[in-house]
């Protein structure tokens, strides 16, 4: 890259990312702007995510294909949480350290990153439509991703619709991403390099099909968001936006096998606070009839929405004996 320069790098990206998406992307890489077309009666959904080395991935722990996959999966998960918005286009900006521009191994790492990004992009129809490149001021790689999707107004799911009496539900399993990360970091400390495990930390699965199927069920989901910062922290976001409280049943939490094998206490901690599972956390009316699976993904009721009261904790967790304990958000929060 240091030899070919930015223009050749962008030309290469353009050749690797031809516009094949007819959902709404009319013009991709090559001009000053991309051109998008929205179908009548649809809304645009836009999400943006920073992807920072040392915060969201580590080169010594994550394979490059995993890093590229995770970079895009974060935004796709946001589209899923809004009701399965259909992706139209992705925009990727890269800040590349000078050391990466002139090192052959680092250039291979960048190629692997783009390979992982593009593979997920093709799967979900989110073509790379533009972005920017620049030299990072320090030794860390960083990326910024903007995703544009479209959705019918009547199918949008927000964080603010939960009501007392609603059930609290989760897709898939919890704690796997954090458990895998612990193993990856332990492996890196021994100098053995990135793990070959392909679990929920390395290759999280955006729940777009589940979000879309959930939004199509009339009058079922009342609020929704994705579990990225940890169940306890994301539950706090839901309670804040909806003005409610929530009680979780610890025994009902679906534990990922990678977490379960660490023992009950550690598995529960990772399920509650670990984060990066990118499952959908949603509420549904007490009378709602939900299948055991939606879009082939298991659904589990894990708690109940309660009325907000002055002397009641916003979040509580009931242990196996039914005793309620205050649940303090313990997931990730930037700038703290």
pLDDT digits (tens, 9 = 90+) for 69-119: 999 999 999 999 999 999 999 999 999 998 887 888 888 999 999 999 999
What's the average model confidence in pLDDT over 113-130? 94
**Which of 130, 155, 180 represents a domain boundary (last residue)?**
155
State the Cα–Cα distance between residues 52 and 61, nearest whole angstrom. Answer: 14
Span 308-335, pLDDT tens digits: 998 889 999 998 788 999 999 987 665 4
73 and 222 share one domain = no
Into how many domains does the chain fold?
2
Assigned domain for 10 exists = yes
Q: Please report whether residue 335 resides in a domain.
A: no
Q: Are residues 274 and 194 in the same domain?
A: yes
Q: Is the pLDDT of residue 255 over 80?
A: yes
Q: Are residues 181 and 264 in the same domain?
A: yes
What's the CA gap between 209 and 336, in Å, rounded?
34
CA distance 145 to 46: 11
pLDDT at 276 over 80: yes
Report residue 196 as tokens: 């070959």
Domain contains 333: no
Domain encompassing residue 48: 5-155
What count of Cα atoms within 13 Å lies in the side-chain half-sphere of residue 239?
26
- % of the chain surpassing 70 pLDDT: 92
Q: What is the SS3 assignment for 209?
A: helix
Q: For the chain, give the percent of residues with pLDDT over 90.
A: 68
Last-in-domain residue among 135, 155, 175: 155
What CATH code is carried by the domain that includes residue 183? 3.90.650.10
Let me know whether 141 and 270 are in one domain. Answer: no
Clarify whether residues 149 and 41 are in a common domain. yes
pLDDT in tens, 146-178: 999 999 999 999 999 999 999 999 999 999 999
Who contacts 74 (Cβ-Cβ below 8 Å, separation ≥6)? 49, 51, 56, 145, 228, 278
pLDDT tens digits, 1-60: 555 555 566 666 666 666 655 577 877 777 778 888 888 999 999 999 999 998 888 888
Minimum mean pLDDT among 77-86, 162-171, 188-197, 297-306: which range? 188-197
DSSP string, 43-59: EEEEEEEEEEBTTTB-T
How would you class 2 by CB atoms within 10 Å of its CB: exposed for 0-12, middle for 13-18, buried for 19 or more? Answer: middle
143 shares a domain with 244: no
State how far the alpha carbon of 296 is from the alpha carbons of 82, 213, 244, in Å. 19, 11, 30
150: domain CATH number is: 3.30.1330.10
For Cα atoms 260, 264, 266, give the angle at the middle one, nearest 5 degrees: 85
Question: 108, 126, 155: which is the final residue of a domain?
Answer: 155
Q: What is the mean pLDDT of the chain?
A: 90
């Amino acid at each position: 890259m240091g030899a070919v320069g930015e223009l050749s790098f962008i030309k290469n990206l353009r050749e690797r990312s031809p516009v094949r998406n007819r959902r709404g992307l009319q013009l991709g890489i090559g001009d000053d702007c991309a051109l998008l077309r929205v179908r009548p009666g649809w809304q645009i959904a836009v999400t943006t995510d920073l992807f920072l080395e040392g915060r969201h991935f580590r080169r010594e722990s994550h394979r490059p294909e995993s890093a590229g996959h995770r970079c895009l999966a974060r935004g796709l998960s946001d589209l899923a949480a809004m009701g399965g918005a259909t992706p139209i286009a992705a925009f990727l900006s890269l800040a590349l350290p000078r050391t990466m521009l002139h090192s052959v191994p680092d250039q291979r790492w960048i190629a692997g990153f783009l390979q992982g990004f593009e593979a997920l992009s093709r799967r979900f129809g989110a073509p790379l439509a533009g972005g920017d490149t620049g030299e990072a001021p320090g030794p860390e790689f960083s990326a910024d991703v903007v995703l544009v999707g479209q959705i019918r107004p009547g199918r949008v799911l927000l964080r603010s619709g939960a009501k007392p009496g609603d059930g609290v539900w989760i897709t898939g399993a919890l704690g796997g991403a954090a458990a895998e990360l612990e193993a990856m970091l332990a492996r890196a400390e021994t100098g053995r390099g990135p793990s070959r495990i392909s679990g929920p930390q390395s290759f999280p699965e955006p729940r777009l099909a589940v979000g879309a199927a959930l939004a199509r069920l009339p009058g079922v989901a009342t609020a929704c968001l994705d579990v990225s910062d940890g169940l306890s922290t994301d539950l706090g976001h839901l309670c804040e936006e909806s003005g409610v409280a929530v009680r979780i049943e610890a025994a009902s939490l679906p534990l990922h096998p990678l977490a379960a094998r660490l023992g009950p206490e550690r598995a529960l901690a990772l399920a509650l606070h670990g984060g990066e599972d990118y499952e959908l956390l949603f509420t549904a009316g007490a009378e709602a009839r939900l299948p055991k699976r939606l879009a082939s993904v298991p659904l589990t009721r894990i708690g109940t929405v309660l009325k907000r009261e002055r002397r009641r904790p916003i979040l509580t967790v009931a242990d196996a004996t039914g005793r309620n304990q205050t649940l303090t958000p313990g997931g990730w929060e930037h700038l703290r």
